[in-house]
């Protein structure tokens, strides 16, 4: 789960990371009022969307007066911000963060990520802040500092100082840098984050270490331990299909193709999408219904897949271990009776009670295209999608 910049800054501030003065606004007038409350001579107006690259897309503006703040907000509110991370559809701007401008002397990149290879928290830093980490890796790879945290002891002060030394932090600011690193680490560890990024972390002309921007991502599976984090979720920034799936306990990722996938198990889902591509088609989604593929759950999956108007065929690929093929078959039959499905439906079952499942599909009288192998299912899905035949076409 992603959160907004202002939310990440508030969290990090509670862990000792210093941030500039700032306030949230939901209208141009409120933004100008927030700036007057803070005082100062210059302010930054930032669109609050779940995406990087806001500055290049016009989502970050420097303002000198109340009128400029209001004008900047008028250009943002209700618009779609399109960046390299949002794709062409963009993300809606419904709130802005007004922040007091600070005199910047240096910019630093700082990130904490979960390194799955070492199964450790990895700190990634660079003296080349202000750029995306991908740009830094490509253009200044020698500037990147990496340090792995040993979970048995956590981030020690000497390790944080070593990172500060490698970033050429002047001695008088080393302790402030250590506090920032320790604060980010504790926030990451204690809140089950999967990513904490400050870009840029700035050294100001008046010798302060400030988080000028902040991003945090959290492990969805650990949110039950942190209800205060769950409340920060902003569904307006999510793919509506993925939001609906999450609310129903399904794992869903929307894609740009037109063959919907209903599969049990992430590995099988990946193999199914690869096989669809191999057969000449394009998957419309990744949908893992998990281990409890009850008829009700399968029906929910169908409703979700069919909510995507781009779907022109649906492939159900189930390998039953804990699941049972007869349950899945009942779910498919129930879904096709309850949900308006006007596209070809291809079903491939394997594993526990597969014969019973095939009998249920055969006796249903519904226009279900059956397949025995994954390759056959993918080929029939692509053929049904490309065909001009009616969805009532039944292949046995």
Contacts with 165 (C-beta within 8 Å, 6 or more apart), sequence order: 174
Q: Which residues pair with 285 in a beta bridge?
A: 254
Q: Is residue 310 a known part of a binding site?
A: no
> Half-sphere exposure of residue 214, counting CA atoms within 13 Å on the CB side?
28
Contacts with 116 (C-beta within 8 Å, 6 or more apart), sequence order: none
In the residue annotation, 109 being an active-site residue is answered as: yes
The predicted pLDDT at position 247 comes to: 67
Q: Is residue 323 a known part of a binding site?
A: no
The predicted pLDDT at position 393 comes to: 40
Q: How far is CA 367 from CA 262, 336, 370, in A?
A: 17, 9, 10
Q: Map tokens 């096709």 to a residue.
A: 336
Q: Is residue 207 a known part of a binding site?
A: no
Domains in the chain, please, with CATH? 21-100 (3.30.1490.20), 104-229 (3.30.470.20), 240-386 (3.40.50.261)
Q: Is residue 14 a known part of a binding site?
A: no
The predicted pLDDT at position 396 comes to: 37
> 118: buried, middle or exposed (CB in 10 Å: 19+, 13-18, 0-12)?
exposed
**Residue-wise pLDDT tens digits, 180-221:** 999 999 999 999 999 999 999 999 999 999 999 999 999 988
- Nearest partner of 272 among 253, 286, 257, 290, judged by Cα: 286
- Checking phi first, is residue 214 left (phi over 0); if not, alpha (psi -120 to 50) or beta? beta
Spatial distance between the Cα atoms of 312 and 196, rounded to a whole number of angstroms: 39
Which of the residues in the chain have pLDDT under 70? 247-249, 291-294, 322, 388-396
In the residue annotation, 197 being an active-site residue is answered as: yes
Q: Is residue 256 a known part of a binding site?
A: no
**Of residues 5, 6, 97, 109, which has the active-site annotation?**
109
**Residue-wise pLDDT tens digits, 99-150:** 999 999 999 999 999 998 889 999 999 988 877 788 888 888 888 999 999 9
Pair 97, 23: CB distance under 8 Å = yes
| CA 30 remoteness from chain centre | 29
Is 0.75 topped by the overall pTM? yes
**Of residues 5, 128, 197, 330, which has the active-site annotation?**
197
Q: Is residue 285 a known part of a binding site?
A: no
Q: Is residue 189 a known part of a binding site?
A: no
């Amino acid at each position: 789960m992603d959160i907004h910049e202002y939310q990440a800054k508030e969290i990090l501030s509670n862990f000792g990371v210093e941030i500039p003065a700032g306030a949230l606004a939901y209208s141009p007038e409120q933004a100008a009022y927030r700036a007057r409350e803070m005082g100062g001579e210059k302010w930054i107006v930032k669109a609050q969307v779940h995406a990087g690259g806001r500055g290049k897309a016009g989502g970050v503006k420097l303002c000198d007066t109340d009128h400029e703040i209001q004008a900047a907000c008028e250009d943002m509110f209700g618009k779609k911000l399109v960046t390299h991370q949002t794709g062409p559809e963009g993300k809606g701007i419904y709130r802005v963060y007004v922040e007091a401008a600070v005199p910047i002397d240096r910019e630093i990149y700082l990130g904490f990520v979960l390194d799955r290879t070492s199964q450790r928290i990895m700190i990634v830093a660079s003296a080349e802040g202000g750029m995306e980490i991908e740009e830094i890796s490509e253009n200044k790879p020698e500037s990147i500092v990496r340090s792995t945290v040993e979970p048995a002891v956590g981030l020690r002060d000497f390790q944080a100082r070593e990172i500060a030394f490698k970033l050429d932090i002047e001695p008088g600011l080393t302790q402030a840098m250590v506090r920032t690193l320790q604060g980010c680490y504790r926030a990451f560890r204690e809140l089950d984050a999967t990513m904490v990024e400050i870009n840029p972390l700035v050294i100001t002309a008046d010798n302060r270490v400030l988080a000028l921007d902040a991003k945090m991502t959290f492990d969805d599976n650990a949110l039950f331990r942190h209800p205060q984090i769950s409340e920060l979720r902003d569904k307006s920034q999510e793919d509506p299909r993925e939001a609906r799936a999450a609310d129903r306990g399904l794992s869903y990722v929307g894609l740009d193709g037109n063959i919907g996938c209903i599969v049990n198990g992430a590995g099988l889902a990946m193999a199914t999408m690869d096989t669809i591509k191999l057969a000449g088609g394009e998957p419309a989604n990744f949908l893992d219904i998990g281990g409890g593929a009850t008829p009700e759950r399968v029906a929910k999956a169908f409703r979700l897949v069919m909510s995507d108007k781009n779907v022109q065929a649906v492939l159900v690929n189930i390998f039953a271990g804990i699941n049972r093929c007869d349950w899945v078959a009942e779910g498919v039959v129930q879904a096709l009776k309850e949900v308006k499905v006007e596209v070809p439906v291809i079903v491939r079952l394997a594993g526990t009670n597969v014969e019973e499942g095939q009998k249920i599909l055969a006796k249903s009288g519904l226009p279900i295209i059956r397949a025995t192998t994954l390759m056959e299912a993918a080929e029939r899905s692509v053929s049904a999608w490309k065909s001009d035949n009616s969805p009532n076409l039944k292949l046995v």
